[in-house]
Amino acid sequence: MNAAGFPLLSLITFLPLVGGAVILSIRGDAAMVASNSRWAALWTSLIVFGLSLVLWLKFNPSDPGFQFVETASWMPRYGLSYHMGVDGISVLFVLLSTALTPICILASWEVITHQVREYMLAFLILETMMVGTFSALDFIIFYMFFEGTLIPMYLIIGIWGGPRRIYSTIKFFLFTLAGSVLLLLAILAIWFQTGTMDIPTLLHTHLPAGMQFWLFLGFLASFAVKLPMWPVHTWLPDAHVEAPTAGSVMLAGVLLKMGGYGLLRFSVPMLPVASSLFAPLMFALGVIAVIYTSLVALAQEDMKKLIAYSSVAHMGLVTIGIFTFNVIGVQGALFQMLSHGIVSAALFLCVGVLYDRMHTHEIARFGGLIERMPVYALLLMVFSLASVGLPGTSGFIGEILVMIGALRVNFWLALFGGTGTILSIAYMLYLYRRIIFGTITHVDLKAILDLSPREIAVFAPLVLLTLWMGVHPSSFTEFWAASVRHMVQSHTAALATAHLAHLASVRTVGMLPR
């Protein structure tokens, strides 16, 4: 329990399942079941979001440790327990998950017309899995939630997706499952070595340097796919193209962040020697992702694919920021993840608006929308400029912090990483010019209507967050500042201890009689 004795975190985590049970109990004709399922899912997600705001307001940013901690005995013989809690690194990701869920439900209100009950149930289950992933403080509990996100997302894409949805879901599942098997092996190796799965305990446990090498590879196999890093990113564009709009929002807004969260929560603090050893490789993969996928995005003729490849490029910057091992770089990576979760979600919603009206993602089929959709054009401009890092928007803060952090490591790293900003300007403004200006030739322009009140309600909080984060970033960075500072200090101290131990072993070997 937390200090007040109230299991707030567990309530936030599992209340969506209660809402799901309510949806399953709904009876009546098809129209009544669909309508009541929508309302039940929306009210459940709004209540969960309200509870997560309480979590956010009561969180103490000056405490670098875990808060709202809940523990219960599960399998003590095997060192397993139900252990939940959040720190500055995870609390805002919980809030992001609960904030995007009602937005996704609203965005799907009129679009999803078949198997509505099952669709809403899948999103509530997905919300539980996402919140649980960011809140779990036991490795097995984390793994169950982490892998649990696959099932509802698999169904969301596979049932309500596009024409090639089966191919995309199988590819998505196989890529993710392959990495997850290696993650499970790494977790079991840690358990055999230490006898515990408790994450706070393991964060202060010094694992052998040789073991860290293999554990890092096991973690990387899973988190790299989830992030996703080049070259294991190829499942993402296919999944985005075939997913329904709300599925793309959750995929880009939250699920991709689980890879970065895993690197920050486990790889860097638990495996300091290995993470330092692999840092040059991670920098190289990050730079390749930034440059290569930005160029690929520039060549796309499908809006969803363009935004999907831009996501890979932005996650490349996150990779660079995480492995700078300095406070500014890591804070930049966190800010970039949070900003991308909001901006990419908004961009996919923008694509969904056009798809609902014209039933295509092809850029060549658009043009001249400024004439009939001026409000839409304004919103798309805001999110496009945020994506390219315009000062005053959320995208600028994350990118500039990562670049400053990278500059403290290596000038060339910052230079090549910064090319992503230039390339993002090229592909986003090119996209904007083609669909907003010009002349439309493939559809009846008079039949296209601007945003409805429901759609404006969906976009309004995302606009406010994008501008709020850009104008007043400290209101977000203060939440993870203490946790990031503690993590960086612990990482530095662990490297120093390992270095001293290595010197001592060398001296001991040198003193042995030949």
Does the residue 388 lie in any domain?
yes
According to DSSP, residue 369 is labeled G
Residue 509 has a pLDDT of: 47
Q: In angstroms, how far is CA 351 from the centroid of its own chain?
A: 19
C-alpha separations of 214 from 95, 142, 271 in Å = 33, 20, 10
Q: What is the pLDDT of residue 238?
A: 87
CA separation for the pair 369, 440 (Å, rounded)? 8
For 422-461, the three-class secondary structure string (H helix, E strand, C coil) is HHHHHHHHHHHHHHHCCCCCCCCHHHCCCCCHHHHHHHHH
Mean pLDDT, range 81-88, rounded to an integer? 92
Is 270 part of any domain? yes
Q: What percent of the chain has pLDDT over 90?
A: 58
pLDDT tens-digit series, residues 17-32: 999 999 999 888 888 9
449-504 pLDDT, tens digit each:
888 899 999 999 999 999 999 999 999 999 999 999 999 988 888 887 776 665 55
Find how far residue 113's CA is from the centre of its chain: 28
What domain range includes position 46? 8-506
DSSP letter, residue 243: S
| CA separation, residue 380 to residues 199, 460, 511 (Å) | 41, 12, 69
Q: Considering just the CA atoms, what is the radius of gyration of the chain in Å? A: 23
Higher pLDDT, 507 or 112: 112
Phi then psi for 168, rounded to 5 degrees? Answer: -65, -40
| pLDDT at res. 4 | 53
Give the pLDDT confidence of 493-514 residue by residue, as tens digits: 888 777 666 555 545 545 445 4
The pLDDT of residue 442 is above 70: no
The tokens for 28 are: 């009546």
Asked which of 198-212, 337-351, 361-375 is least confident by mean pLDDT, the reply is: 361-375
- What DSSP character marks residue 362? B
What is the distance between the alpha carbons of residues 241 and 243, in angstroms, rounded to a whole number? 6
Mean pLDDT (the chain) is: 88
Report which secondary-structure segment, H or E, holds 86. strand 80-86
Position 35 in a domain? yes
In a domain, 367, yes or no: yes
In angstroms, rounded to a whole number, what is the distance separating the alpha carbons of residues 253 and 239?
14
Q: How many domains does the chain have?
A: 1
Which has more confidence, 371 or 287? 287
Q: Tens of pLDDT along 276-286?
A: 999 999 999 99
Cβ-proximal residues to 153 (8 Å cutoff; 6+ apart), any chain? 126, 172, 247, 250, 251, 255
Instruction: Please report where in the chains the tokens 């049932």 appear, as a residue.
Output: 159
Residue 338 in domain: yes
Phi, psi of 90 (to 5 degrees): -100, -20
3 within some domain = no
With 80 as the cut, is the pLDDT of residue 3 above it?
no
Tens of pLDDT, residue by residue over 33-48, are 989 999 999 999 999 9
pLDDT score at 132:
95
